[in-house]
Chains A and B, each alone.
Chain A
Amino acid sequence: MATEDLIEATVFCTYHQVEYSFIASLEEAGLVQLTFINQQYFIPNTQLLQLEKMIRLHQELDINLPGIEAIAHVLQRMEDLQQQNISLINKLRLYEQV
């Protein structure tokens, strides 16, 4: 059976000094996915980096939820384009060598 590392949402909120409502709003916006087990919300380990980044944007730059949504979307596009760029550069190298 596959296992998944989970962090209790309340523990995460205490550590990062954020209200649970903020995380709930991020989930509502589809920016993070929480897991509900035994009447408690948990954050999967795989979501941590993304969630912490959004908290930094909120706390350090005072960016509200719609702003975070827009940024997350643009950053994802940027990452995809960077990946595409790397693969095109590698492909170009292949033809330059021939």
Chain B
Amino acid sequence: MAYIDYYQVLGLKKGATEKDIKSAYRKQARKYHPDLNPNDKEANKKFQEINEANEVLSDAEKRKKYDQYGENWQHADAYEAQQKQSGGSRPSSGYSGGNTEGGYNYESFGGGGDFSDYFQSMFGNMGGGGGRQAKYRGQDFRSELHLNLLDVVESQKQTLTVNGKNIRITIPAGVENGQTIKITGHGGAGSNGGPAGDLLITFVIKDDVKFKRDGYNLHTTVNVDLYTAILGGELIAETLTGKVKVPVKPGTQNGAKVKLKGKGMPVYKKENEFGDLYLSYQIDIPTELTDKQKELFKELQQSSI
């Protein structure tokens, strides 16, 4: 547990006035507030440090204790006990960690996280003293949900366990890899009546072996035998929702593409709207020909010269 220089955190010198502290806190908070830095863990961490520093330095009693013991915080309790025994005049109320009225809940603090171990060691779990009733929104929880492409073809419900609580969420069809959805109010609890934070779920969608996704469109490769490619015919192609019969034009070239309209991914939050599926034809050249077949190909070759 390392000593934290709260003055340095706020960019202040030790003799800073109340006004300086307020102004420095506001300046830093505006820079690192979670609402202004969405999805930025570093900024959230910094915001937590700033809040912690402000919590101590803006409270006269806490600041006094911090200034008095500061780097020697480990000996603070021993020193105070000794003071009491020898009839010291320092009041005994305050930082014992008891449940004082109007105390803070340090677990959920403005989108950041817990206060540091250093803070809790110095001021206990319930600040005491100040009596302020600042309301803070609980921290946002972040989670990743790993899915297969086929999992997002249709909207589905899934139960997640977040911090021991089961939450049933709907995974909307067509959600993209890397996309984040917000479940309001399922983050950390707020303090002093502040609102709870949110649960942010980022979807990580694994690449599919068969289908490559490009937005709402899908791409896949299908094999066509040489004879069908030359003479035309039809083939059976796999789509996300089953197999379909596709006509093949005579003289189809290797690498030719056809579009199957509406057979791609569902469009996010738009019912009955789908992207397209693109089939790339790969023509299979026969490798093991019979003598008869070889002869026929030679005949064909000569006739086409």
Contact check, A75 vs B38: say whether CB atoms are below 8 A apart.
yes
Q: How far is the CB of A87 from chain B (nearest CB, A)?
A: 6
Contact (Cβ within 8 A) A61 B182? no
Residues of chain A within 8 A (CB-CB) of B46 are none
- B30-A61 in contact (CB<8A): yes
Answer whether residue A24 sits at the interface, using C-beta atoms and an 8 A cutoff: no
CB of B27 to closest CB in A, whole Å = 10
B36→A94 contact, CB < 8 A: no
Question: By the criterion of a CB under 8 Å from any partner CB, how many residues of chain A are at the interface?
Answer: 24
Within residues 33 to 59 of chain A, which ones have a CB less than 8 A from any CB in chain B? Answer: 48-49, 52-53, 56-57
Q: Given known contacts A49-B182, A75-B36, A86-B179, is B29 in contact with A61 (CB within 8 Å)?
A: yes
Contact of B212 among A62, A63, A75, A97 (CB under 8 A): A97
Chain B residue at minimal CB-CB distance from A63: B30
Q: How far is the CA of A62 from the CA of B215 in the complex (A)?
A: 40
**How many A-B pairs fall under 8 Å by CB?**
49
**Chain B: interface residue count, which band?**
20 to 34
Chain B residues with Cβ under 8 A from A71's Cβ?
36
B33 at the interface (CB under 8 A from A): yes
Q: Any chain A CB within 8 A of the CB of B263?
A: no
Nearest opposing residue in chain A for B179, CB measure: A86
Task: Kindly provide the distance from the CB of A72 to the nearest chain B CB, expressed in whole angstroms.
Answer: 10
Kindly state whether residue A5 has any CB partner on chain B within 8 Å: no
B127 within 8 A of A: no
A62 contacts which chain B residues (CB < 8 A)?
Answer: 26
Residue of A nearest to B31 (CB): A61
Q: Which residues of A65-79 are within 8 A (CB) of B?
A: 71, 75, 78-79
- How distant is the Cα of A52 from the Cα of B184 in the complex, in angstroms? 11
Which partner residue on chain A sits nearest B219 by CB separation? A94
Contacts of B45 in A (CB 8 A): none
Report the Cα distance A90→B214, complex, angstroms. 7
- A94-B213 CB under 8 A given contacts A57-B33, A75-B38, A86-B176: yes
CA distance A93 to B214 in the complex (A): 9
Interface string of B169-180 (1 = CB under 8 A from A): 000000011110
CB neighbours (8 Å) of B207 from chain A are 93, 97
Q: Answer whether residue B110 sits at the interface, using C-beta atoms and an 8 A cutoff.
A: yes
B186 within 8 A of A: no
Whole-angstrom CA separation of A47 from B177 in the bound complex: 26
A52: B residues at CB distance < 8 A: 195
B33 contact from A61, A94, A98, Cβ within 8 A = A61
Say whether, besides A56-B137, A57-B35, A94-B214, A87 and B30 are in contact (CB < 8 Å).
Answer: no
Q: In the complex, are the beta carbons of A86 and B178 less than 8 A apart?
A: yes
List B residues 52-103 near A (Cβ within 8 Å): none
Q: Is the CB of B38 within 8 A of A87?
A: no
Chain B positions near chain A (C-beta within 8 angstroms): 26, 29-30, 33, 35-36, 38-39, 110, 137, 176-179, 182, 184, 195, 207, 212-215, 219
Would you mind naming 28 contact pairs between A and B with Cβ atoms under 8 Å apart? A49-B184, A53-B35, A56-B33, A56-B35, A56-B137, A57-B33, A60-B29, A61-B26, A61-B29, A71-B36, A75-B36, A75-B38, A79-B38, A82-B39, A86-B176, A86-B178, A86-B179, A87-B176, A89-B178, A90-B176, A90-B214, A90-B215, A91-B215, A93-B207, A94-B212, A94-B213, A94-B219, A97-B207
> Shortest 6 CB-CB distances between A and B: which pairs?
A86-B178, A61-B30, A94-B214, A53-B35, A94-B212, A90-B177
